Amino acid sequence: MNLCEVSCALCGDAPSSVRFHEEPFTVRTCDSCGLDYVSPRALDLIESVYDATYWRSDAARRKGYSDYAGDLALQRKTFARRLRGIEPLFPRPGRVLDVGCAGGAFLLVMLESGWTVRGLEPSEPMRAIAEERLGAPVDGSDLMLFEPGETFDLVTLWDVLEHLPDPVGALRRARSWLAPGGRIVLETQNVASLAARALGRRWHHYKHEEHLVHFSPTTLSRALAAAGLRVTSRTTRAAGKYVRLDFLVERSGRLGPWATRALAPLLALGNPVVYINPLDEMIVVAEPL
C-alpha cells in the first residue's frame, strides 16, 4: 500500500498533535482547528481500498463490510427510518442525488417515495449492483470531476465525507449541484461523542485505510462553512442502523475477545434483526449560506 503525508483538510499547513499511532497510520489533531485526521494515509483509494474485497471482506472489523450487497433489506429499513426525518423538509418529492450510493439502497427507498433519483458511485463492483437494482445507469466518475448537468433538491452523502481526501472541496461541489431551496443531508461519525471518547483507539470508526477524517459537530460546521454552507439541523436520532446480531458480535471484537464471548451465546436466538444507535454518528442538514 502506498502512503502519503497530508495536512489538515480545513486549514492546510497548520501544525498537528499525535493522538495515537497504529502502524503504519497516525491519527492526529490539528492544533489550529481541532480536526482529527489520519496522516500518513493510504493513497490510490479506489484501487487499493474500494475493490471487491471491500464490500465482501473477511476482515470487516478493520476494513470494509462482511457482505454489503447481502444486507439490502436491512439497509432499506435503515434508510426508510432516516427518510422519515428528512421528508418534512420538502413540500413534495423532488430530485435527489446520492453521492457514494453503494448498492443503491437509499435510492430504492426514495424511488418508492416518488423521488427522481440519481446515483454516483466510483466503486465499479458496487455500481454494477446499484444499476441492476435501480434499472438505470449510475454515474461512476470521481466526485471532484463529476458534472451532473442538472440540479437537485437534495444531495445526500451517507457515510461518505470521512472517506474523502478533500471533504471541503467535495462539499463545495455538492453545494454547486443544489437547485434553489435545495439541501445537503449527510451522515458522518462524531469523534467527540461519548462512545468515541470512552472507547479511545478501540472506537469502531477508526478504520485508517478508509476513514481519513473524523469530524466533531464543531469541525463539521467549520468544513460546511468553508464550503459556503450552514447547518440547519443536527441530530443523532435515526443515525443508527438495523443490523443482524452476528454483525454486532463480530464488531464487538474490537472491544476485546471478552465482548465477543459475552454476546456470542445470544446467537442461539437465531440471529435476529436489532436496531443499534450508539449515538456516535450525526445526521446534518445544510443549506447554502
How many other CB atoms sit within 10 Å of the CB of residue 8? 23
Task: Tell me which stretch binds Zn ion (CB under 5 A): 26-34, 205-213, 245-253, 280-288.
Answer: 26-34
Q: How far is the CB of 32 from Zn ion (least distance, A)?
A: 5
Q: Does 110 bind Zn ion (CB under 5 A)?
A: no
Q: Does 32 bind Zn ion (CB under 5 A)?
A: yes
Cβ-based nearer residue to Zn ion, 33 or 259: 33
Under a CB-based contact definition with an 8 Å cutoff, are residues 276 and 241 in contact?
yes
Cβ-based nearer residue to Zn ion, 118 or 222: 222
Task: Tell me which stretch binds Zn ion (CB under 5 A): 10-18, 20-28, 167-175, 178-186.
Answer: 10-18
Q: Residue from 6, 11, 248, 259 that binds Zn ion (CB under 5 A)?
A: 11
Tell me which DSSP letter residue 151 carries.
-
Q: Does 8 bind Zn ion (CB under 5 A)?
A: yes
Task: Tell me which stretch binds Zn ion (CB under 5 A): 5-13, 49-57, 76-84, 114-122.
Answer: 5-13
Under a CB-based contact definition with an 8 Å cutoff, are residues 159 and 138 in contact?
no
Q: Does 30 bind Zn ion (CB under 5 A)?
A: yes
Q: How far is the CB of 215 from Zn ion (least distance, A)?
A: 12
Q: Does 33 bind Zn ion (CB under 5 A)?
A: yes
Cβ-based nearer residue to Zn ion, 60 or 212: 212
Task: Tell me which stretch binds Zn ion (CB under 5 A): 1-9, 63-71, 105-113, 199-207.
Answer: 1-9
Q: Whose CA is closest to 142, among 53, 74, 44, 213? A: 44
Q: Does 231 bind Zn ion (CB under 5 A)?
A: no
Q: Which residues contact 100 (CB under 8 A, 6 or more apart)?
A: 120, 121, 122, 143, 157, 158, 159, 160, 163
> What residue has cell string 502502524?
23
Q: Whose CA is closest to 241, among 63, 75, 66, 57? A: 75
Q: Does 283 bind Zn ion (CB under 5 A)?
A: no
Q: How far is the CB of 31 from Zn ion (least distance, A)?
A: 8
The single-letter code of the amino acid at 76 is R
Q: Whose CA is closest to 36, among 23, 47, 25, 46? A: 25
* Secondary structure percentages of the chain, helix, strand, coil, to 5: 35, 25, 40
What residues make contact with Zn ion under the rule CB under 5 A? 8, 10-11, 14, 30, 32-33, 35
